[in-house]
Amino acid sequence: MTKENIQKIIDEAQKPNEETNDMDDETEIMWEYKLPNEDDSALKKASTKEMMELTENEQLPSDALVRRCGTDSFYTAGRVDFEIYLD
């Protein structure tokens, strides 16, 4: 391998991957939530932005149970700061 080939490989590796960056922009954290007396069959899904709106409009009680999609543990909505999950 020549110096030119090695440099070309390094240059390519350091270029930002536009496809990956576009996908990151589109990736949004999703949440599952339910009221404390409901079972898991009642789970509803919402984006972080939607969860913030529900909380701000007092449509999601602070004792509602929420978790990020793909996780096991629920937390009460009043303990979760959805703003830190926004891009």
Q: Tell which residue, 74, 46, 39, 73, has the closest CA to residue 60.
A: 46
State residue 14's pLDDT score.
Answer: 65
Domain residues for 59?
3-85
Name which residue leads in pLDDT, 24 or 50.
50
pLDDT in tens, 21-38: 444 456 889 999 999 999
Please tell me the total count of domains within the chain: 1
The answer to whether residues 59 and 33 touch, using CB atoms and an 8 Å cutoff, is no
Query: What length does the chain have?
Result: 87
Structural tokens at position 31: 């949440």
30-34 β-sheet, strand order: 44-47, 30-34, 65-68, 75-76
State residue 21's pLDDT score.
Answer: 46
State residue 83's pLDDT score.
Answer: 93
Q: Would strands 30-34 and 44-47 be described as parallel, antiparallel, or unpaired?
A: antiparallel
Q: What is the pTM (predicted TM-score) of this model?
A: 0.67
CATH number of the CATH domain containing 7: 3.30.1490.40
